Chain A
Amino acid sequence: EAGVAQSPRYKIIEKRQSVAFWCNPISGHATLYWYQQILGQGPKLLIQFQNNGVVDDSQLPKDRFSAERLKGVDSTLKIQPAKLEDSAVYLCASSLTVNNEKLFFGSGTQLSVL
Protein backbone atom coordinates (compact mmCIF):
# COMPACT_ATOMS: atom_id res chain seq x y z
CA GLU A 1 0.00 0.00 0.00
CA ALA A 2 1.50 3.35 -1.04
CA GLY A 3 1.87 5.87 1.75
CA VAL A 4 1.08 9.56 1.93
CA ALA A 5 3.15 11.40 -0.67
CA GLN A 6 4.39 14.95 -0.13
CA SER A 7 6.48 17.32 -2.19
CA PRO A 8 8.82 19.04 -2.18
CA ARG A 9 10.94 17.50 0.59
CA TYR A 10 12.78 20.73 1.26
CA LYS A 11 12.12 24.38 0.46
CA ILE A 12 14.16 27.47 1.27
CA ILE A 13 12.61 30.89 0.69
CA GLU A 14 13.07 34.44 1.87
CA LYS A 15 10.55 36.15 4.11
CA ARG A 16 7.60 37.72 2.32
CA GLN A 17 7.85 35.19 -0.52
CA SER A 18 5.13 32.65 -1.20
CA VAL A 19 5.38 28.86 -1.11
CA ALA A 20 3.12 25.89 -1.80
CA PHE A 21 3.19 22.31 -0.60
CA TRP A 22 1.47 19.34 -2.20
CA CYS A 23 0.01 16.20 -0.65
CA ASN A 24 -1.42 13.01 -2.13
CA PRO A 25 -3.12 10.89 0.57
CA ILE A 26 -3.45 7.13 0.67
CA SER A 27 -5.93 5.98 -1.95
CA GLY A 28 -9.45 5.82 -0.56
CA HIS A 29 -8.74 7.94 2.50
CA ALA A 30 -11.50 10.50 2.87
CA THR A 31 -9.94 12.60 5.62
CA LEU A 32 -6.81 14.70 5.10
CA TYR A 33 -4.88 16.79 7.61
CA TRP A 34 -2.12 19.38 7.48
CA TYR A 35 0.06 19.65 10.57
CA GLN A 36 2.85 22.12 11.36
CA GLN A 37 5.81 20.75 13.33
CA ILE A 38 8.21 23.37 14.64
CA LEU A 39 11.64 22.06 15.64
CA GLY A 40 11.54 20.51 19.09
CA GLN A 41 7.73 20.53 19.31
CA GLY A 42 4.90 18.17 18.59
CA PRO A 43 2.82 18.53 15.44
CA LYS A 44 0.01 21.10 15.54
CA LEU A 45 -3.11 20.70 13.41
CA LEU A 46 -3.59 23.47 10.86
CA ILE A 47 -6.56 22.17 8.88
CA GLN A 48 -8.66 19.03 8.45
CA PHE A 49 -10.63 18.08 5.34
CA GLN A 50 -13.36 15.50 4.96
CA ASN A 51 -13.44 14.78 1.20
CA ASN A 52 -13.22 18.32 -0.21
CA GLY A 53 -14.91 20.08 2.71
CA VAL A 54 -13.17 21.76 5.65
CA VAL A 55 -13.91 20.14 9.04
CA ASP A 56 -11.59 22.22 11.23
CA ASP A 57 -9.38 25.19 10.36
CA SER A 58 -9.48 26.92 13.73
CA GLN A 59 -5.67 26.99 14.06
CA LEU A 60 -4.91 28.03 10.49
CA PRO A 61 -3.51 31.60 10.28
CA LYS A 62 -5.94 32.58 7.57
CA ASP A 63 -4.33 35.95 6.85
CA ARG A 64 -1.37 34.14 5.27
CA PHE A 65 -2.17 30.42 5.03
CA SER A 66 -4.65 28.81 2.66
CA ALA A 67 -5.40 25.21 1.75
CA GLU A 68 -7.60 23.42 -0.70
CA ARG A 69 -8.52 19.88 -1.56
CA LEU A 70 -10.05 19.86 -4.98
CA LYS A 71 -11.96 16.72 -6.01
CA GLY A 72 -11.44 15.28 -2.52
CA VAL A 73 -8.03 13.74 -3.27
CA ASP A 74 -4.84 15.84 -3.54
CA SER A 75 -4.35 18.89 -1.40
CA THR A 76 -2.17 21.99 -1.48
CA LEU A 77 -1.16 24.24 1.39
CA LYS A 78 0.02 27.75 0.57
CA ILE A 79 1.75 30.41 2.61
CA GLN A 80 1.73 34.00 1.33
CA PRO A 81 3.62 35.97 2.51
CA ALA A 82 5.95 33.78 4.57
CA LYS A 83 7.37 34.91 7.91
CA LEU A 84 10.48 33.72 9.72
CA GLU A 85 8.32 31.91 12.30
CA ASP A 86 6.81 29.75 9.55
CA SER A 87 10.05 27.75 9.41
CA ALA A 88 8.89 24.23 10.26
CA VAL A 89 8.12 20.82 8.83
CA TYR A 90 4.68 20.67 7.24
CA LEU A 91 3.19 17.22 7.59
CA CYS A 92 0.27 15.85 5.66
CA ALA A 93 -1.72 12.94 7.10
CA SER A 94 -4.75 10.96 6.03
CA SER A 95 -7.23 8.57 7.59
CA LEU A 96 -9.84 6.28 6.12
CA THR A 97 -12.81 8.24 7.43
CA VAL A 98 -13.47 11.05 9.86
CA ASN A 99 -14.33 8.44 12.50
CA ASN A 100 -11.18 6.40 11.94
CA GLU A 101 -8.59 7.53 14.41
CA LYS A 102 -5.49 5.96 12.85
CA LEU A 103 -3.60 8.67 11.03
CA PHE A 104 -0.96 7.93 8.39
CA PHE A 105 1.63 10.68 8.01
CA GLY A 106 3.79 11.61 5.06
CA SER A 107 7.48 12.45 5.49
CA GLY A 108 6.76 16.17 5.38
CA THR A 109 8.14 19.26 3.70
CA GLN A 110 10.88 21.05 5.61
CA LEU A 111 10.50 24.81 5.10
CA SER A 112 13.22 27.29 5.95
CA VAL A 113 12.33 30.99 5.79
CA LEU A 114 15.40 33.26 5.72
Chain B
Amino acid sequence: QQQVKQSPQSLIVQKGGISIINCAYENTAFDYFPWYQQFPGKGPALLIAIRPDVSEKKEGRFTISFNKSAKQFSLHIMDSQPGDSATYFCAASKRGAQKLVFGQGTRLTINP
Protein backbone atom coordinates (compact mmCIF):
# COMPACT_ATOMS: atom_id res chain seq x y z
CA GLN B 1 0.00 0.00 0.00
CA GLN B 2 1.47 3.30 -1.14
CA GLN B 3 1.02 5.57 1.86
CA VAL B 4 3.07 8.51 0.57
CA LYS B 5 2.68 9.58 -3.04
CA GLN B 6 5.33 11.85 -4.52
CA SER B 7 5.34 13.87 -7.74
CA PRO B 8 6.79 14.55 -10.19
CA GLN B 9 9.06 11.56 -10.86
CA SER B 10 11.58 13.82 -12.55
CA LEU B 11 12.06 17.56 -12.75
CA ILE B 12 14.35 19.81 -14.77
CA VAL B 13 14.88 23.39 -13.58
CA GLN B 14 17.12 26.14 -14.80
CA LYS B 15 19.81 27.48 -12.49
CA GLY B 16 18.36 30.19 -10.27
CA GLY B 17 14.82 28.90 -10.63
CA ILE B 18 12.47 27.42 -8.03
CA SER B 19 12.17 23.65 -7.72
CA ILE B 20 8.90 22.33 -6.28
CA ILE B 21 8.26 18.70 -5.30
CA ASN B 22 4.95 17.56 -3.89
CA CYS B 23 3.86 14.74 -1.59
CA ALA B 24 0.51 13.49 -0.38
CA TYR B 25 -0.13 11.10 2.47
CA GLU B 26 -3.07 8.97 3.55
CA ASN B 27 -2.49 8.07 7.18
CA THR B 28 -3.70 10.84 9.52
CA ALA B 29 -1.58 9.31 12.32
CA PHE B 30 1.58 10.56 10.60
CA ASP B 31 3.06 13.49 12.46
CA TYR B 32 6.64 13.79 11.23
CA PHE B 33 7.44 14.69 7.62
CA PRO B 34 11.11 14.79 6.55
CA TRP B 35 12.70 15.32 3.18
CA TYR B 36 15.83 13.36 2.28
CA GLN B 37 18.38 14.15 -0.43
CA GLN B 38 20.27 11.34 -2.14
CA PHE B 39 23.25 11.66 -4.48
CA PRO B 40 24.27 8.76 -6.76
CA GLY B 41 26.12 6.06 -4.86
CA LYS B 42 25.28 7.57 -1.48
CA GLY B 43 22.65 6.96 1.14
CA PRO B 44 19.83 9.46 1.75
CA ALA B 45 20.67 12.42 3.99
CA LEU B 46 18.14 14.40 6.00
CA LEU B 47 17.55 17.80 4.43
CA ILE B 48 14.70 19.36 6.38
CA ALA B 49 11.68 18.14 8.37
CA ILE B 50 8.37 19.48 9.65
CA ARG B 51 5.65 18.59 12.14
CA PRO B 52 1.96 19.31 11.48
CA ASP B 53 1.72 22.04 14.14
CA VAL B 54 3.29 24.53 11.70
CA SER B 55 2.41 25.28 8.08
CA GLU B 56 5.88 26.20 6.89
CA LYS B 57 9.51 25.67 7.81
CA LYS B 58 12.46 27.34 6.12
CA GLU B 59 16.14 26.47 6.28
CA GLY B 60 18.28 28.50 3.94
CA ARG B 61 17.09 27.96 0.37
CA PHE B 62 14.89 25.01 1.38
CA THR B 63 11.28 25.41 2.53
CA ILE B 64 8.64 22.85 3.47
CA SER B 65 5.01 23.91 3.08
CA PHE B 66 2.48 21.77 4.93
CA ASN B 67 -1.29 21.57 4.40
CA LYS B 68 -2.80 19.37 7.10
CA SER B 69 -6.39 19.50 5.82
CA ALA B 70 -5.33 18.43 2.33
CA LYS B 71 -2.80 15.92 3.70
CA GLN B 72 -0.14 17.35 1.44
CA PHE B 73 3.33 18.80 1.87
CA SER B 74 5.88 20.13 -0.53
CA LEU B 75 9.55 21.03 -0.80
CA HIS B 76 10.57 24.31 -2.39
CA ILE B 77 14.18 24.93 -3.39
CA MET B 78 14.81 28.60 -4.08
CA ASP B 79 17.63 29.80 -6.33
CA SER B 80 18.26 26.21 -7.45
CA GLN B 81 21.91 25.37 -8.13
CA PRO B 82 23.57 22.60 -10.17
CA GLY B 83 24.81 21.13 -6.87
CA ASP B 84 21.17 20.55 -5.90
CA SER B 85 20.88 17.96 -8.66
CA ALA B 86 19.97 14.77 -6.79
CA THR B 87 17.04 12.51 -5.98
CA TYR B 88 14.70 13.83 -3.30
CA PHE B 89 12.46 11.67 -1.15
CA CYS B 90 9.63 12.76 1.07
CA ALA B 91 8.78 10.53 3.99
CA ALA B 92 6.41 10.28 6.93
CA SER B 93 6.23 8.51 10.27
CA LYS B 94 4.02 8.26 13.30
CA ARG B 95 4.94 9.84 16.63
CA GLY B 96 7.20 7.56 18.65
CA ALA B 97 7.87 5.21 15.74
CA GLN B 98 10.84 5.65 13.46
CA LYS B 99 9.31 3.52 10.72
CA LEU B 100 9.73 6.02 7.92
CA VAL B 101 7.50 5.48 4.90
CA PHE B 102 9.18 6.96 1.84
CA GLY B 103 7.74 8.37 -1.36
CA GLN B 104 8.89 7.12 -4.75
CA GLY B 105 11.47 9.88 -5.20
CA THR B 106 11.97 12.81 -7.57
CA ARG B 107 15.04 13.05 -9.73
CA LEU B 108 15.92 16.75 -9.87
CA THR B 109 18.27 18.15 -12.52
CA ILE B 110 19.39 21.76 -12.38
CA ASN B 111 20.66 22.98 -15.73
CA PRO B 112 23.50 25.54 -15.58
The interface of chain A, by Cβ under 8 A from chain B, is 4, 31, 33, 40-45, 48, 56, 91, 93, 95, 98-108
Contact = CB atoms under 8 A, between A and B. Distances in A.
> What are the nearest 10 A-B pairs in CB distance?
A105-B43, A42-B102, A42-B89, A105-B44, A43-B102, A106-B43, A107-B43, A91-B43, A107-B42, A42-B105
B43 A45 contact: no
B45 A105 contact: yes
Given A31-B98, A44-B102, A48-B99, A101 B49 contact: yes
Interface in B67-112: 89, 91, 93, 96-100, 102-105
Q: How large is the interface on B (under 10, 10 to 19, 20 to 34, 35 or more residues)?
A: 20 to 34
Contacts, number: 51
B91 A42 contact: yes
Given A91-B43, A102-B46, A45 B100 contact: yes
Given A42-B89, A105-B44, A107-B41, A99 B96 contact: yes
Given A101-B34, A102-B46, A105-B43, 20 more contacts: A31-B98, A33-B98, A40-B104, A41-B104, A42-B4, A42-B104, A45-B100, A48-B98, A48-B99, A56-B99, A98-B98, A101-B32, A101-B49, A101-B93, A101-B98, A104-B45, A105-B44, A107-B42, A107-B43, A108-B43
B24 to A, nearest CB: 14
6 contacts: A4-B43, A40-B104, A42-B105, A93-B43, A101-B34, A101-B49
